[in-house]
């Protein structure tokens, strides 16, 4: 039985993914032991251990991700992460306390945070990449404040004024910014996907979502009318349930399509990644993971995490991997973790 089968997924990743496939060696049992210790120590230390928990968790997942037999490394210092989290908590406490002084003051602090957001994005991305390595070669991020300001402040304003019609533009611009400002050693990444591909993907999603919504609404109305005659709402509830599942499936389609687009457009020194996730598989894994987590009162979170990670990673491949040996690494300076931890604490999306 293959690795995917051991985690409850039947997939033919070897056949589906062209080029040299990324492999995932993580196991649910191993990750459970890390996870349960992390949870226990985080609780008994009132959250202080959460920085070490993050490093242990991320180091295991990175170390389980293999390309041509070599694993990725996560090199972050837990102390740096803890300092960043303490700063994040302190800033949030100040923001919360400002409401007691004056709602106007709280609003002013929120507005003052906006110019800081691009800086946080850059710091967070730089911290993550500088602490990620493959074959002793570190990644890095070279984005500038002005670029981040356009992507994370100006673009969202344009989206709001366009009634969200320009949202695909933001998704494309964000992916381009994050990819093209990333490096592996001395080599810069390039992003080859055009803006039009994202608009087309979102148009297809909206058409699919609208079709399901209209069909489900009509079906629910008819079922409700039929149920009124025998006073049994079972059919109407069934139609409503199926419609909700179908709408979630369209969201899964959008996520898979955008993920495949983004990860298939990354190039580096003659190499290119290829991502071939499939909507039915992703939807099934996500849905059954949710059921398993709820039914187990959270104890199956490690199993669900490994299961999803295996499917996602093993459906990404690298074309022309022979160019890897030609890359040279560069040493990068240490950088504080405050940007990453504040961003994570506030739920800022800085990933692809």
Which whole-number Å values give the CA distances from 63 to 42, 60, 124, 216, 347, in the listed order? 22, 5, 21, 45, 25
| pTM attached to this predicted model | 0.86
Whole-angstrom distance, CA of residue 229 vs CA of residue 220: 15
pLDDT in tens, the chain (352 residues): 344 444 444 444 445 556 789 999 999 999 999 999 999 999 999 999 999 999 999 999 999 999 988 999 999 999 999 998 898 889 889 989 988 888 899 899 989 989 999 999 999 999 999 999 998 888 999 999 999 999 999 999 999 999 999 999 999 999 999 999 999 988 899 999 999 999 999 999 999 999 999 999 998 888 887 776 665 688 888 999 999 999 999 999 999 999 999 999 999 988 999 999 999 999 999 999 999 999 999 999 999 999 999 999 999 999 987 777 766 544 445 556 666 666 665 445 555 6
Q: How many Å is the maximal CA-CA distance in the chain? A: 75
Helix (H) or strand (E) holding 321: none
Contact between 291 and 341 under an 8 Å Cβ cutoff? The reply is no
Give residue for tokens 């009318």: 225
Instruction: Judge residue 294's burial from the number of C-beta atoms within 10 Å of its C-beta, 0-12 exposed, 13-18 middle, 19 or more buried.
Output: exposed
Whole-angstrom distance, CA of residue 79 vs CA of residue 66: 27
Query: Could you state, in order of their start, the residue ranges of all structural domains in the chain?
Result: 3-12+20-192+270-345, 194-263
Q: Please report the pLDDT score of residue 352 as a whole number.
A: 65
Q: Please report the pLDDT score of residue 334 as a whole number.
A: 55
Contacts of 71 (CB under 8 A, 6+ apart): 25, 62, 63, 64, 65
In the 8-state DSSP scheme, what is residue 179? H
Whole-angstrom distance, CA of residue 137 vs CA of residue 185: 6
Whole-angstrom distance, CA of residue 306 vs CA of residue 164: 35
Q: Please report the pLDDT score of residue 12 as a whole number.
A: 46
33 strand-pairing partners: none
∠ CA(298), CA(302), CA(304), 5° rounding?
Answer: 85
Q: What's the chain's Rg over C-alpha atoms?
A: 23
The 10 Å CB-count burial string (b at 16+, else e) for 330-342 is: eebeebebbbbbb
Spatial strand order of the sheet with 266-268 comes to 20-21, 316-319, 271-275, 266-268, 190-191
Whole-angstrom distance, CA of residue 341 vs CA of residue 334: 16
Neighbours of 4 (CB within 10 A): 19
Give residue for tokens 């008819």: 222
Contacts of 262 (CB under 8 A, 6+ apart): 175, 179, 193, 275, 352
Q: Please report the pLDDT score of residue 347 as a whole number.
A: 46
């Amino acid at each position: 039985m293959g690795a995917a089968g051991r985690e409850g997924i039947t997939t033919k990743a070897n056949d589906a993914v062209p080029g040299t496939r990324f492999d995932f060696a993580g196991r649910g049992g191993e990750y459970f032991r890390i996870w349960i210790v992390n949870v226990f120590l985080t609780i008994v230390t009132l959250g202080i251990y959460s920085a070490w928990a993050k490093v242990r968790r991320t180091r295991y997942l990175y170390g389980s991700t293999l390309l041509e037999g070599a694993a990725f490394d996560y090199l972050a210092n837990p102390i740096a992460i803890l300092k960043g989290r303490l700063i994040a908590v302190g800033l949030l406490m100040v923001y919360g306390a400002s409401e007691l002084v004056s709602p106007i003051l709280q609003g002013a602090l929120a507005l003052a945070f906006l110019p800081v957001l691009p800086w946080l994005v850059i710091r967070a991305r730089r911290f993550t990449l500088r602490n990620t390595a493959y074959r002793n070669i570190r990644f890095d991020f070279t984005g500038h404040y002005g670029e981040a300001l356009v992507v994370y402040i100006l673009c969202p304003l344009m989206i709001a004024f366009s009634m969200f019609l320009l949202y695909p533009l933001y998704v494309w611009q964000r992916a381009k910014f994050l990819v093209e400002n990333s490096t592996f050693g001395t080599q810069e990444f390039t992003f080859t996907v055009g803006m039009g591909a994202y608009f087309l993907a979102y148009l297809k999603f909206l058409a699919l979502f609208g079709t399901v919504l209209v069909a489900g609404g009509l079906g629910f109305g008819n079922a409700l009318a039929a149920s009124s005659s025998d006073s049994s709402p079972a059919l109407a509830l069934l139609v409503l349930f199926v419609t909700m599942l179908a709408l979630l499936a369209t969201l899964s389609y959008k996520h898979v399509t955008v993920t495949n687009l983004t990860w298939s457009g990354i190039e580096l020194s003659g190499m290119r990644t290829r991502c071939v996730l499939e909507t039915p598989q992703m939807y099934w894994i996500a849905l059954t993971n949710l059921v398993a987590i709820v039914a187990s009162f959270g104890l199956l979170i490690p199993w669900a995490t490994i299961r999803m990670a295996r499917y996602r990673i093993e459906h990404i491949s690298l074309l022309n991997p022979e160019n890897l040996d030609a890359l040279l690494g560069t040493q990068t300076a240490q950088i504080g973790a405050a940007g990453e931890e504040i961003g994570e604490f506030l739920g800022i999306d800085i990933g692809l």
